Structure 1
Amino acid sequence: MEAVFDYILSLGSTVFVPIVLFVIGLFFGLGFFRSLKSGITVGVGFIGFNLAVGLISSILSPAVNLIVERFGFNLTVIDLGSAAGAGVAFSTMVGALIIPCVFLLNVILLAIGATKTMNIDIFNYSHYAFTGAVVNLITGNVIVGMGAALIQATWSLLSADYTAKRVQNEIGVEGISIPQGYAASSVPLFVILDKLYSRIPFINNSELDIKKLQNKVGFIGDPVIIGAILGIILSLLAGYGFKDSANLVMGVCAIMVLFPRMIKIIVEGLMPLSEAAKGFFAKHFSGREVYIGLDSAVTLGHPTTMIIGTLIIPITLVIATILPGNKVLPLADLAFAAFYICMATIIHKGNILKTLISGIINMIGILYIATWVSPYFTTLAVQGGVSEGGQEVSSLWAGNVFDFIIANLGFLGYAGLGILVIITIGLMVFVKKYAMKE
């Protein structure tokens, strides 16, 4: 079983996702060649997207490391990053069982109408595995650990249902949703903040999206020019000379340009599948909707996400040093800050001011939760061979509020699991009522 799942994971999103989408296209009656074209187009988009992500790693990560060294941040827990976090999660007992169990749960929830999302973002099942592994570590009960993992998977599906229409409106493609483990967990905070902003005149009346910014300041509001300005700021903080500064500025500008282009390719591949799905469910299920659950990466093409995602990097470093009780040194995951604020852009409809404020508040929560989970992360990392020990480690990836809530209740054993089930049923009722209202 482990060998089979390792092989599936080794295919990567550029192969596995197109295969799944090809099968879905055939099921929806799209036809062999159109299904094949849609799947391959999405795969090509993911290849381009991964190249852009690699650009973030090669361009931004060295600058972040230099900023950390230059300012001598004295924090004791090292951020190993999302790749290490996923490796830790999948190396556990819960991680070995998570893929078939979550897939089966998803099918059951779809069949009974408890969710509209079919989550094909199999690589991010690692978030659920990590929560379950932490609970299993503390309770010594793999059943309770698996229960906690499945609860988080369900919450992510419900969050995806809740935001589906907003995601579709902002991205411009129907029939998709975002159940990705971290993005889904950030939705409640951003929704609460959005309602709070409506009571604050200055923020509520703000209409500062990318189009309004361009209208107010002309070319200075263009994402490429903003990218150049952000690149210069990061270069100054890193102490770069002209050559390295020029490369960093060009890299940040390239990120601003490439991400939206790659997302357009992914959307181009998804459009025929969306139309086929709509026709299939209209014909066979009286118009019932089913969403294809994708990685939050498909939201990163939004200019607001890229601008605030870059700006939040130096802000997070400052926050980390002055935040009372924080022990985590943001490092490996910091260059990918856009992933942590992407749903704020969706909830706030691209408003730059609201997304920036929400992004800062969210990063504070991430640092606190990553600090809280660091002893468990370190133990699991040593057990999984990801870390040799002697250094306490964590990840911004693990600063997940769903993980924090579910793990703390999961520590109570079966009683905590019972409480989580009751909460989950309540969330199902709430999301269904919200969907009807929408």
Structure 2
Amino acid sequence: MAAQDLRQLVDTNDIPALQQWLVQHAPHEIADEIGRADPLRGVLLFRLLDKDRALEVFEELDPSDQHKILSGLRDHAFRDVVEAMDPDDRARLLGEAPAKFARHVLGGLSPHERTMTAALLGYPDGSVGRYMSPETVAIRRHLTAGEALRVVRERGADAETIYTLPVIDDERRFVGTLSLRDLVLSSPDRPITELVDTTALRVQATDQAEGAARLMQEANLLDLPVVDSEDRVLGLLTIDDAVEVIEAADTEDIARQSAATPWSGHYMSAGVAQLARSRALWLLLLIAAATLTVNVLQFFEATLEQVTALALFIPLLVGTGGNAGAQAATATVRALAVGEVRTRDLFHVAWRESRVGLLLGAMLGAVGLVMGTILVDFPVAVTVALSLVLICGWAATIGATMPLLAKRLGIDPAVISAPLVTTLVDATGLVIYFLIAHAVLPL
């Protein structure tokens, strides 16, 4: 059934057909339709779900959509949903919610759930502590495999995951990790010390969640132990939460690279004013930056009056330079995000990208030489060809180094967006073009 047909069922209040649709679709598909819907339709769909399935769907929603649903539920249904959430999911929901809403949620929780949630909210926004699951099964290192397995059976039902088991000493300090597979396949009397991986990775609760999530991605981990400053185990960062962290970080980077302010929620449920607001500020800034191009053209106005043919190739040159700079900037931001490039690689990256840009410029310059000769004359064609070589080299260098410099200054590299690089390269590229024209042409 298409989304349009589903909206028709909601509008006509066809409850039996809606219930049949909900039964036939997976939780993530239902969550997507709720995210697309306005608050009234979204709450109606959610309230038709049975209790267990409602929780599965709720956990698939973005925090902004979760807030939308909870705001439309009665108090008893509200409390049931929030109480059943995992503490880390609840902490993320409250971290993005208004303070009044957060107090209302915390006030309705049981003391145990309230304590766990408040502890997670005590960590900085964007830190691992906000995303970790405190409900874990930790194994004492002096146990045997049989004793450890008994602990898992007794406490595993209350844990979010048992595939990775942190091993601790008597003071709850991290010793290593134990996989459930190794535990199950070992003889019951085998000491845990023979099974524990003492080289296992771990992160502190105050570390950045994105860095921890990408570490899990690189190391192919299902779970990553989280410790405090004294190396005591606090919980686990699970793979599902790590994927959400990476998705959110990539979404934010994409928004910034396209010169827009990141926003949360489903695109189809966002209003026109919200989308325009997320883009307006950057467009205003880019218009201000584009005045540099106008000033350059005004400065070289006499040159254009003497050789009007130069104006024909301005769009080609600024477009090519902007594209070359945007390509380099996007590649560098991506390499920074996944840890392939570090700020100390600045000069190596600049040297590498400058050669890439010059090589591309030489290729495009050959094309420009032919086009210029056909359309105008050979001297102008030489000017265009040389300009393409230098502009591409310059643009690639600027595009690659600006994100690295931003990172070194503590600025999000994604802020150095492709449109911003393009705008800056436009102005400087024109300077290069007219300087070469003065050197080549008889002006």
| TM-score in terms of structure 1 length | 0.21
Q: Which has the higher helix share?
A: 1
- Which has the higher relative contact order, 1 or 2, with Cα contacts under 8 A spaced 6 or more apart? 1
Give the number of the structure whose alpha-carbon radius of gyration is greater.
2
| TM-score in terms of structure 2 length | 0.21
